[in-house]
């Protein structure tokens, strides 16, 4: 059963009609996240809460192999229409474990504008770190961690004081 927090039905269509060109989505968030992603050619990227596939499309255009996960049936349809066979899009409620994904299966994760929709964020973040290969990267506005090619940007977590 899809999450009640996803954009279902006409609300999903409304979101798509606005998000593609809205000032925040199109000119602030999306460019910032894609810049943080850096060079992705040849990498496996997990796009969590992929919505209508804006990030998945941009990452696939840059040469990444992308799996997008989205709870909303309407947004899954939009993403599949946008991407065709350039990325795999699955319907999945991110409030549920990522059991179908093996440990260390991905080089990077994009989690753009979705974490506030989730009930158990700590469990979700644990799942993301499980499916990332060691020394992988993740991007979620604001960025928490990105590590590639010997460079690292980190932010100290407010709860534990530890660095991810």
State the DSSP H helix or E strand holding residue 79, giving kind and residue range, or none if neither.
helix 73-83
Percent of the chain with pLDDT over 70: 79
pTM for the model: 0.79
Contacts of 121 (CB under 8 A, 6+ apart): 115
> What would the pLDDT profile of 82-141 be if each residue is shown by its tens digit?
999 999 999 999 999 999 999 999 999 999 989 988 999 999 999 999 999 986 555 555
> What would the pLDDT profile of 34-46 be if each residue is shown by its tens digit?
999 999 999 999 9
Instruction: State how far the Cα of 126 lies from the Cα of 130, in Å rounded to an integer.
Output: 6
Please work out, in degrees rounded to the nearest 5, the angle formed at the alpha carbon of residue 146 by the alpha carbons of 38 and 126. Answer: 130
Percent of the chain with pLDDT over 90: 62
Angstrom distances, CA of residue 86 to CA of 26, 143, 156: 21, 26, 36
In order of their start, the domains of the chain are 9-147 (3.40.50.150)
Is the confidence at residue 156, as pLDDT, over 80? no
């Amino acid at each position: 059963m899809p999450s009640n927090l996803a954009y279902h039905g006409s609300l999903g269509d409304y979101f798509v009609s606005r998000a593609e060109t809205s000032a925040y989505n199109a000119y602030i968030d999306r460019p910032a996240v894609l810049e943080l992603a850096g060079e992705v050619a040849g990498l496996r990227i997990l796009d969590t809460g992929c919505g209508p596939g804006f990030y998945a499309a941009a990452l696939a255009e840059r040469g990444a192999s992308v799996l997008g996960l989205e709870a909303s049936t309407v947004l899954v349809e939009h993403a599949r229409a946008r991407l065709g066979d350039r990325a795999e899009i699955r319907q999945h409620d991110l409030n549920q474990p990522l059991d179908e994904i093996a440990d260390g299966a991905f080089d990077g994760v994009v989690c753009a504008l979705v974490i506030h929709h989730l009930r158990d964020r700590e469990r979700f973040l644990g799942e993301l770190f499980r499916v990332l290969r060691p020394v992988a990267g993740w991007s979620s506005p604001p960025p928490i961690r990105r590590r590639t090619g010997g460079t690292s940007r980190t932010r100290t977590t407010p709860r534990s004081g530890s660095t991810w």
